[in-house]
Amino acid sequence: MSADGPRRFKTATAGRALLALAVTALFLFPVYWLFVMSIKTPEEVFATPPVWWPAEISLENFAVLFRDGDVRAIWNSAIVAGVSTVIAMFLGTIAAYSIARYRTGGDHLAIWIISQRMIPPIAIVFPIFLAFALIGLNDTYLGLIALYTAFNLPYVIWMMRGYVEDVPLELEESALVDGLDRWQTLLKVVFPMMRTGLFATSVFTFIFAWNEFIFALILTRTEVITFPVQVSHYFGPQQIFWAKIGAMSVLGTLPVFFTVAMAQKLLVRGISMGAVKG
């Protein structure tokens, strides 16, 4: 028995590791399939039965996207998601500070703000489309940025509220006594104390905006098409351009992978909206 114990333990661990590996592979398989699609040659793309391993890596599908100017969608996504993230982070964080520190507006304001997050986009996008049409904001950076800013504000406020509460009040009071005014205290003491929170929240805010589909589908036409909408354009009525879908998806997903990899340790608190403190 006693000699058997450690070995059984090891076998169990190895078994779990193998099972975990298999499950992970299963979850990643569709990602692999789309990725492989993006590096197949035209012959391989249309081969039946499908080719599981491409014979060689072809970057032709990506080259086509650059040639046709379709990559502009990535650029558009970057501008819209980037700018709206910066604005939402700034406005949301100062509001979160006020709500967390001074209980501004009490529970009512907090509930109202978070409930804004939960309104389905489809229910508000229609009036906004008409309003934007009236003031010429459809298919402009400004329109989409404004919308994404508003759309992400509740999330930013909700998340940053938790991070503000983690900053010891004494640090602020000490700064106030030492000669800073409230605004300087916020910028020079509270913001640096929340560096990780600001970083994690911006990562998720950025991803939400980057991945967003309904608003972009309805409020853009040609000028500021974002990458998911560009992908949707490859589903033609007669034909589906799988190679382009693959290549465009890879281009649009890589930045997300990159940012998430940077925010690895902060992932849980970010996606659970603070329900589990990471």
Partner 1 sequence: MSAVAEAPIPPQPASPIAGFVDRNFRWLLVWPSILVLLLIGLFPVIYSLFVSFQKINRRVTDTSFQGFYNYERLVTDERFWDSVINTGIMTGIALPLELVLGLLLARLFLEPFPGRQILIALIVTPSVIAPFVAGAMWRLMFDNIFGPINEIIRWIVGGNFDLLWLINDNPLIVYSAILTTEVWQWTPFMFLILLAAWSNVDKSQLEAAEIDGASGWRVFRRIIFPAIRPVVFVALTIRGLDLVRLFDIVYALTRGGPGNMTETISIYAYIKGFERFDISMTAAFAFVVIVSLSILVMVVLRRVGVTQ
Partner 2 sequence: MARLAVQGLRKSYGKVEALKGVDLDIAEGEFCVFVGPSGCGKSTLLRSIAGLEEIDSGTIAIDGNVVNTLRPRDRNIAMVFQNYALYPYLSVFENIAFGLRARKVPDAEIRSRVANAAEMLGIEALLERMPRQLSGGQRQRVAIGRAVVRDALLFLFDEPLSNLDAQLRDGMRAEIKRLHQEIGKTTIYVTHDQIEAMTLADRIVLLRDGIIEQQGAPLDLFERPATRFVAGFLGSPQMNFVATHLDYVDGALTLIFDEGRRLPLDPARAAAFDKYRSRDVILGVRPEHIARANGGAPRKPADAPLNALIDLVQPTGTRTYAQFRLNETEITVELPSHTVERPGTTIELLFDMSRVILIDPQTQHVIPG
Chain residues 175-214 in contact with partner 2, contact rule CB under 8 A: 175-181, 184, 189, 192-193, 195
Subset of 229-248 contacting partner 2 (CB under 8 A)? none
Q: List beta partners, residue 235.
A: 240
Q: CB-wise, 4 or 170, nearer to partner 2?
A: 170
For 149, counting Cβ atoms within 10 Å of its Cβ (0-12 exposed, 13-18 middle, 19+ buried), the class is: buried
Shortest Cβ distance from residue 204 to partner 2 (Å)?
Answer: 23
Q: CB-wise, 173 or 223, nearer to partner 2?
A: 173
Q: CB-wise, 168 or 278, nearer to partner 2?
A: 168
Q: Say whether 233 sits in a helix, a strand or coil.
A: helix
Does position 56 interact with partner 2 (CB under 8 A)? The reply is no
Shortest Cβ distance from residue 66 to partner 1 (Å)?
Answer: 19
Q: Say whether 166 sits in a helix, a strand or coil.
A: coil
Shortest Cβ distance from residue 21 to partner 2 (Å)?
Answer: 38
Shortest Cβ distance from residue 106 to partner 2 (Å)?
Answer: 13
Q: Which of the 8 DSSP states describes residue 264? A: G
Partner in contact with 258, chosen from partner 1, partner 2, none, beta carbon below 5 to 8 Å by kind: none
Does position 124 interact with partner 2 (CB under 8 A)? The reply is no
Does position 49 interact with partner 2 (CB under 8 A)? The reply is no
Shortest Cβ distance from residue 187 to partner 2 (Å)?
Answer: 12
Q: Say whether 235 sits in a helix, a strand or coil.
A: strand
Does position 4 interact with partner 2 (CB under 8 A)? The reply is no
Q: CB-wise, 4 or 178, nearer to partner 2?
A: 178
Q: CB-wise, 120 or 179, nearer to partner 2?
A: 179
Among residues 170, 237, 239, 276, which is the contact residue for partner 2, using CB under 8 A? 170
Query: Where are the alpha helices (H) located in the chain, listed in sequence order?
Result: 4-38, 42-45, 60-68, 72-102, 106-118, 121-135, 141-165, 169-178, 182-185, 191-193, 195-211, 214-219, 227-233, 242-262, 267-271
Which are the contacts of 83, defined by CB distance < 8 A and separation ≥ 6?
Answer: 141, 145
Which are the contacts of 253, defined by CB distance < 8 A and separation ≥ 6?
Answer: none
Shortest Cβ distance from residue 266 to partner 2 (Å)?
Answer: 18
Could you tell me which of 263, 224, 237, 197 has the C-alpha nearest to residue 83? 224
Q: CB-wise, 30 or 179, nearer to partner 2?
A: 179
Q: Which of the 8 DSSP states describes residue 240? A: B
How far is Cα 145 from Cα 206, in angstroms, rounded to an integer? 12
Partner in contact with 136, chosen from partner 2, partner 1, none, beta carbon below 5 to 8 Å by kind: none
The residue to which tokens 């690895």 are assigned: 264
Shortest Cβ distance from residue 172 to partner 2 (Å)?
Answer: 9
Structure tokens at 39: 């590096």
Does position 104 interact with partner 2 (CB under 8 A)? The reply is no
Residues interacting with partner 2, by CB under 8 A? 168, 170-171, 173-181, 184, 189, 192-193, 195
